[in-house]
Amino acid sequence: MDSIDEKDLRERLIKLGAPRLADALIYISSYTKGGTEYVQAMLLTPDEAEKRFKSKLSGLKRRRKYVGWNEAQDFALELKLIIASLREGMPKPKRGLQLVADFFSLDGRILDRCDDSSGEIGYVFRFDARNLFISYASRCSDKRFVSDLLLKLYEHDDYGVRTELVAKASHFLPEEEMRDLVANILERAKSEEPGSYEADGWWIAAQMLARQLHDPGLFERAKLAADQKLSSPTCMDIAVVYLENGDPEMALFWMERIPPTDRFRADLQDRLLYSIYERLGDKEKMAERAWSMFLNNRNRDTLDMLLRALGESERERVIEEQTQQIMAGEGLSYIDAEFLMDVGRIDNSAEYLFRYRDQLDGDSYSVLVPLAKSLEAGGRFLVASIVYRALLESILARAQSRYYHHGVRYLKKLDTLSLVIDDWRGLPSHEEYRKTLLEEHKRKRSFWSKYGV
**Alpha-carbon distance 56 to 75, whole Å?**
13
pLDDT value of residue 26? 78
Tell me, what's the pLDDT at 10?
Answer: 84
Q: Yes or no: say if 43 and 87 are a contact pair by the CB < 8 Å rule.
A: no
Last residue of a domain, one of 168, 190, 207: 168
**Exposed/middle/buried for residue 45 (C-beta within 10 Å: 0-12, 13-18, 19+):** exposed
More confident residue, 91 or 57: 57
Query: Contact, 189 vs 199, CB < 8 A?
Result: yes
Please check the confidence at residue 251 and state whether its pLDDT lies above 90: yes
Is there a single domain that holds both residue 25 and residue 163?
Answer: yes
Query: Do residue 372 and residue 408 come from a single domain?
Result: yes
Domain presence at residue 450? yes
pLDDT at 3: 63
Residues 208 and 339 in one domain: no
Across all residues in the chain, what is the average pLDDT?
A: 93
Asked if 203 and 226 count as a contact pair (C-beta separation under 8 A), the reply is: yes
Would you say residue 2 has pLDDT above 60? no
Provide the domain limits for residue 128. 16-168
For range 211-218, the mean pLDDT = 98
Average the pLDDT over each of 260-269, 342-351, 416-425 and give the range with the smallest value.
260-269
DSSP tag of 171: G
For residue 34, what pLDDT band results from cuts at 50, 70 and 90?
low
CA distance 316 to 272: 26
Model confidence, pTM: 0.81
Of 150, 168, 186, the last residue of a domain is: 168
Q: Are residues 74 and 214 in the same domain?
A: no
Domain annotation covers residue 287: no
Comparing 87 with 256, which gets the higher pLDDT? 256
| Segment 303-307 mean pLDDT | 97
Could you read off the pLDDT of 115-145 as tens digits, one per residue?
A: 999 999 999 999 999 999 999 999 999 999 9
Rounded Cα–Cα distance for residues 38 and 31 (Å): 12
Query: 88 near 41, Cβ under 8 Å?
Result: yes
Q: Residues with Cβ < 8 Å from 349, sequence gap 6 or more?
A: 337, 340, 341, 371, 374, 375
Q: pLDDT for 353-406, tens place per residue? A: 999 999 999 999 999 999 999 999 999 999 999 999 999 999 999 999 999 999
Q: Is 4 a domain residue?
A: no
With a cut of 90, say whether residue 323 has pLDDT above it: yes
Q: Identify the band that residue 73 occupies on the pLDDT scale cut at 50, 70 and 90.
A: very high
| pLDDT at residue 435 in the model | 96
Residue 323 belongs to a domain: no
Residues 208 and 192 reside in one and the same domain: yes
CA distance 51 to 425: 78
* C-alpha–C-alpha distance, residues 137 and 149, integer Å: 10
Are 82 and 161 found together in one domain?
yes
Count the domains in the chain.
3
pLDDT tens for 96-107 read 999 999 999 999
